[in-house]
Amino acid sequence: MDTKLIDMYKKYSKKNKLYEFTKYLNDNNLKDNFLQQLFNSSFMKRYEGKEYNEAMELSNYAIALSRKTLEEKFGENLAKKMIESIYKLDEPFSRNHKIMALAVGDEIKGVPDETSRENLEQLLDLTSNPDNVYGIHIVGGQNGEGYMQFGYPITGNQLVANDYDLNNDYEFYKNLELNISKNTYLFRNDQIGLILKLIANRGYKAKPDGKYNDVMLVSIPKDELDNNNPDIIVDIGGHKFLSPEYIKGFVRTDIGNGSINQICTNPYFSEKFSIPQSYNEWNTQFENWYKTAGSIEFQPYKHGMIETIQEILARKKSKDILEKQENPPINTDKNENIR
Residue 119 CA: distances (Å) to CA of 1, 29, 114, 195: 39, 32, 9, 12
User: Residue 156: what pLDDT?
Assistant: 54
User: Residue 243: what pLDDT?
Assistant: 83
In sequence order, which residues have a C-beta less than 8 Å from that of residue 301 and are 6 or more positions away?
A: 144, 145, 148, 149
User: Residue 252: what pLDDT?
Assistant: 81
The pTM (predicted TM-score) of the whole model is 0.76
- Annotate the chain with three-state secondary structure: CCCHHHHHHHHHHHCCCHHHHHHHHHHCCCHHHHHHHHHHHCCCCCCCHHHHHHHHHHHHHHHHHHHHHHHHHHCHHHHHHHHHHHHCCCCHHHHHHHHHHHHCCCCCCCCCCHHHHHHHHHHHHHCCCCCEEEEEEECCCCCCHHHHCCCHHHHCEECCHHHCCCCCHHHHHHCHHHHHCCCCEEEECCHHHHHHHHHHCCCCCCCCCCCEEEEEEEEEEHHHHHCCCHHHEEEECCEEEECHHHEEEEEEEECCCCCEEEEEECCCCCCCCCCCCCHHHHHHHHHHHHHHHCCHHHHHHHHHHHHHHHHHHHHHHHHHHHHHHHCCCCCCCHHHHCC
Tell me the average confidence (pLDDT) per consecutive run of 10 residues in the chain, 339 residues long. Answer: 91 94 95 93 88 94 94 89 93 92 74 76 92 86 45 54 61 86 88 89 71 84 94 76 82 80 76 67 64 47 50 59 62 45
User: Residue 144: what pLDDT?
Assistant: 43
User: Residue 11: what pLDDT?
Assistant: 94
Taking the C-alpha atoms of residue 278 and residue 313, their distance in angstroms, rounded to an integer, is: 8
Q: What is the rounded end-to-end Cα distance, in angstroms, of the chain?
A: 96
